[in-house]
Amino acid sequence: MDPMRKKDCHDSGESVRVASTFPDEVLERVLALVKSHKDRSSVSLVCKDWYDAERWSRTHVFIGNCYSVSPEIVVRRFPNVRSVTLKGKPRFSDFNLVPPNWGADIRCWLVVFGAKYRCLEELRLKRMTVSDESLEFLALSFPNFKALSLLSCDGFSTDGLAAIASHCKNLTELNIQENDIYDKSGSWLSCFPENFTSLEVLNFAYLHNDVNFEALERLVSRCKSLNVLKVNKNITLEQLQRLLICAPQLAELGTGSFLHELTDRQYSELKRSFNNCNNLNVLSGLSEVAAIYLPALYPACTNLTFLNLSDAALQSEELAKLLVHCPRLQRLWVLDTVEDKGLEAIGSNCPLLEELRVFPSDPFEEGIVHGVTESGFIAVSYGCRRLHYVLYFCRQMTNAAVATIVQNCPDFTHFRLCIMNPCQPDYLSNEPMDEAFCAVVKTCTKLRRLAVSGLLTDLTFEYIGKYAKNLETLSVAFAGSSDWGMQCVLGGCPKLRKLEIRDCPFGNAALLSGFEKYESMRSLWMSDCKVTMNGCRFLAKEMPRLNVEVMKEDGNDDSQADKVYVYRSVAGPRRDAPPFVLTL
């Protein structure tokens, strides 16, 4: 069916359908195959019939900012949704920049879903506040509920998890990642009924209390479809070995602590268990690792595509020896304890590498720390030409190094460089790091996400505005010289969706230069910049479809707007804002 013809019908005002129109059933069948929410948005804009077919056939809805829309609007438009992904707080809340009790509570969503989405199966939340009562409500209200994923959420305790384990008879996924959870005890795990067998994904790596190991072992044994198991660091090597025997089919494994002493016999058994894990694609955990036990892992590493060593303080030689056994690695996360030598080993052993994240082992101290430097990054870029995602924490960098890196790897889509000392120049030339990011945006035409650091003037932002035509997310801290920098970005990056800025000298002129742009963006965050309340009020007045929120801290000058969060919304101003959030 030619969409153009549909359009003509619509335009000519005919209310009678043209005979050769697609029947709804066929259209809905076809649209059911369209999964990407961006594609579905496009589909819904073609014409009214397609809008209707799309909304009836949509089963998964993604809401990138929970305050951009209300639950009532969502359920009204999409009556058949079974899976919801919701993101709440601004990303800088990860670094304590958002005061507690800010909002993004899942409760009001669950109440509406409880009424309209009785068949809800999946809920994936990021940076939302979730209470134990909400989790209990969830467990009791949706008989088909299958998958719960909580990432960077807060407000709940292990009691809530116990409710989920007790009542969700069809649960396939329980994914508790990196949350601010009140970990009362590990007894939640024992709440899974003895006849419960449907679990496919279990991740409790970041919970601290002991779970009952026998209960866990029985659970793992009887859940034959278990695919993903990530245990916490209290699980010993010996216990891990027993779990591997129960579940050799695992595709993703997160180990516990890799430290406790093993006898020779226990070590051989462990190695044999790993040998039986032929399907392992993803490996993580390895906290407190005793390097002598790492070789037990080697047999299971052949098919690894993602190795997450961000909890394992490995030295360079240990990493090098391990990487020899991981020829297919595409994603690697490490701590900077591996140092430049470790990164050289990555360059030598991982030709298929696409993503590298190097985390700082000691970010808040500047004692005698080593970490990684620009040489390690350069070494990786020579060896891993497919690299397109990098997150790199370091204490020194040069413009020349970055230029070399992007010349070797021009396909970067995500370039996040964090030079940990704010405003640090190129340590060899003592110049600002402007030319580094110029090289990045000029060379990497596919760049979608960028985080800048180091000493930066407005020039960096001129380059970004001029060259970064595919940029969607930009993170800026302690950079820029004047309003002009931010104006360049707002004026120049057509695909910009998220802009987060802290501690920069950007003021009202910069804020207001983008006021038309903000409606095409998800959100803008500016904290500790030079924006005033009057500037924010002006923006709010000019753009009624934006929510302009200011978070006030006590004791600060009333005319300064310390933290500004601007986002588009069809739901109007928040009705649940706490007293310290002023909606203008």
Partner 1 sequence: MGRAAPSSSSSIDSSNHSSAASSSSSLSLSIESNSKSGGRLDLTTDLRLGLSISPSHYNEFSAGASPRQQPLNWPPIRSILRSAHAGKSHDLPEHPSLFIKIYMEGIPIGRKLNLFAEEGYEGLIRTIGHMFPTTFINSSADRVHSDKYHVLTYEDKEGDWMMVGDVPWEMFLNNVKRLKVTRANRC
Binding site for partner 1 (CB under 8 A): 92, 94-97, 152, 178, 180, 183, 206, 208, 259-260, 288, 290, 313, 315, 337, 359-367, 393, 418, 420-425, 430-432, 455, 457, 475, 477-478, 481, 503-505, 528, 530
Q: Which of 101, 243, 90, 219 is nearest to 165 (CA)?
A: 219
Residue 370 in tokens: 């080593």
If the CB atoms of residues 19 and 368 are measured against partner 1, the closer one turns out to be 368
Q: Is 29 helix (H, G, I), strand (E, B) or coil?
A: helix
Residue 256 in tokens: 């516990």
Closest separation between CB of residue 231 and partner 1, Å?
16
If the CB atoms of residues 281 and 421 are measured against partner 1, the closer one turns out to be 421
168 contacts 137 by C-beta, under 8 angstroms = no
Task: Round to the nearest angstrom and report the end-to-end CA distance of the chain.
Answer: 48
Closest separation between CB of residue 362 and partner 1, Å?
8
Quick one: DSSP state of residue 507? B
Closest separation between CB of residue 444 and partner 1, Å?
21
- Residue identified by tokens 């008879």 is 169
Q: Which of 406, 463, 398, 386 is nearest to 426 (CA)?
A: 398
Q: Which of 487, 478, 490 is nearest to 454 (CA)?
A: 478
Q: How many helices (H) and strands (E) does the chain have?
A: 20, 23
Which residues does residue 254 pair with via DSSP β-bridges, in sequence order? 230, 284
Quick one: DSSP state of residue 21? P
If the CB atoms of residues 15 and 430 are measured against partner 1, the closer one turns out to be 430
If the CB atoms of residues 507 and 514 are measured against partner 1, the closer one turns out to be 507
If the CB atoms of residues 147 and 459 are measured against partner 1, the closer one turns out to be 459
Closest separation between CB of residue 46 and partner 1, Å?
41
If the CB atoms of residues 71 and 160 are measured against partner 1, the closer one turns out to be 160
Residue 36 in tokens: 């990407």
For 183, what's the count of Cα atoms within 13 Å in the CB-facing half-sphere?
16
Closest separation between CB of residue 26 and partner 1, Å?
48
Which residues does residue 177 pair with via DSSP β-bridges, in sequence order? 151
If the CB atoms of residues 411 and 528 are measured against partner 1, the closer one turns out to be 528
What distance in Å separates the CA atoms of residue 314 and residue 342, rounded to the nearest whole number? 9
Closest separation between CB of residue 552 and partner 1, Å?
17
If the CB atoms of residues 269 and 500 are measured against partner 1, the closer one turns out to be 500
If the CB atoms of residues 172 and 310 are measured against partner 1, the closer one turns out to be 310
What distance in Å separates the CA atoms of residue 414 and residue 451, rounded to the nearest whole number? 9
Closest separation between CB of residue 206 and partner 1, Å?
6
Per-position b or e across 426-445, b if 16+ CB within 10 A of its CB: bbeeeebbbbbbbbbbbbbe
Closest separation between CB of residue 363 and partner 1, Å?
5
**How far is the CA of 390 from the CAs of 356, 380, 503, in angstroms?**
5, 11, 24
SS3 content of the chain, % helix, strand, coil (to 5): 35, 20, 45
If the CB atoms of residues 383 and 485 are measured against partner 1, the closer one turns out to be 485
Closest separation between CB of residue 567 and partner 1, Å?
20
How many other CB atoms are there within 10 angstroms of residue 23's CB atom?
A: 9
If the CB atoms of residues 97 and 509 are measured against partner 1, the closer one turns out to be 97
Closest separation between CB of residue 158 and partner 1, Å?
14
Closest separation between CB of residue 250 and partner 1, Å?
24
Q: Which of 249, 348, 237 is nearest to 286 (CA)?
A: 237
Q: Count Cβ atoms within 10 A of the Cβ of residue 48 and give its class: 0-12 exposed, 13-18 middle, 19 or more buried.
A: exposed
239 contacts 266 by C-beta, under 8 angstroms = no
Q: Which of 494, 472, 476, 404 is nearest to 440 (CA)?
A: 404
Closest separation between CB of residue 503 and partner 1, Å?
5
If the CB atoms of residues 366 and 576 are measured against partner 1, the closer one turns out to be 366
- Residue identified by tokens 């549909």 is 6
Closest separation between CB of residue 422 and partner 1, Å?
5
Q: Count Cβ atoms within 10 A of the Cβ of residue 188 and give its class: 0-12 exposed, 13-18 middle, 19 or more buried.
A: buried
456 contacts 441 by C-beta, under 8 angstroms = no
* Crossing angle for the helix pair 237-246 and 264-275, to the nearest 10 degrees: 30
E strand map for 492-535: 498-502, 523-527
Closest separation between CB of residue 490 and partner 1, Å?
20
What distance in Å separates the CA atoms of residue 96 and residue 87, rounded to the nearest whole number? 17
Closest separation between CB of residue 319 and partner 1, Å?
13
If the CB atoms of residues 290 and 400 are measured against partner 1, the closer one turns out to be 290
The alpha carbon of residue 445 and the mean position of all alpha carbons in its chain are separated, in whole angstroms, by: 23
If the CB atoms of residues 458 and 549 are measured against partner 1, the closer one turns out to be 458
If the CB atoms of residues 197 and 421 are measured against partner 1, the closer one turns out to be 421
